């Protein structure tokens, strides 16, 4: 794994207001970008660069997701929308700022020792080529 991939894979986005996190393309919901989990819906999205904040509608009583698509859905696509809404269930923007935390430690704070250890001793399994006769 390349060092820059390792670094990005070690970070976790935490949604606050949602004004800095991209709804479709950032990894903020269940460990995968929604564009990866729902590529068909992503292709139909009106604004593929919208932030989480822009996709949230504060005007209803409790707030809700305002998902906008280029056209109405075919019958076979409705299940995908239901799956997306299930994934979003219970998630909503908050009052604090968006943040990034470090997955490598319990506190969520970056520590050079942990980063160095992760780079020097990667958890990738190395093929035991010397064991083959």
pLDDT digits (tens, 9 = 90+) for 14-42: 999 999 999 999 999 988 999 999 999 99
Report the chain's mean pLDDT, rounded to a whole number. 83
Task: Specify the pLDDT at position 78.
Answer: 96
pTM, whole model, 2 decimals? Answer: 0.74
CB 80 within 8 A of CB 54: no
Residue 14 gets which letter from DSSP? E
Q: Average pLDDT in the 29-57 region?
A: 96
The structure tokens 């390792």 sit at: 6
Contacts from 34-40 at CB under 8 Å and sequence distance 24+? 34/84, 34/87, 37/84, 37/87, 38/80, 38/83, 38/84, 40/77, 40/80
Percent of the chain at pLDDT > 90 equals 58
Task: Specify the pLDDT at position 100.
Answer: 86
Residue 123: half-sphere exposure toward Cβ, Cα within 13 Å: 6
Tell me the domain boundaries of the chain: 3-128
Q: What is the pLDDT of residues 99-133, one digit of tens each?
A: 888 776 666 555 556 666 666 766 654 445 555 54
In this prediction, residue 89 has a pLDDT band, given cuts at 50, 70 and 90, of: very high
């Amino acid at each position: 794994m390349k060092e820059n991939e390792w670094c990005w894979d070690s970070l976790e986005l935490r949604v606050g207001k949602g004004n800095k996190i991209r709804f479709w393309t950032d990894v903020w919901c269940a460990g995968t970008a929604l564009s990866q989990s729902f590529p068909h819906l992503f292709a139909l999205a009106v604004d593929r660069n919208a932030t989480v904040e822009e996709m949230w509608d504060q005007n209803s009583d409790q707030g809700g997701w305002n998902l906008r698509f280029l056209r109405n859905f075919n019958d076979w696509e409705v299940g995908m929308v239901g799956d997306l809404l299930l994934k979003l269930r219970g998630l909503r923007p908050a009052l604090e700022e968006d943040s990034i935390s470090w997955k490598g430690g319990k506190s969520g704070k970056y520590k050079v020792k942990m980063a160095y250890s992760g780079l020097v001793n990667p958890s990738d399994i190395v093929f035991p080529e010397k064991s083959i006769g």
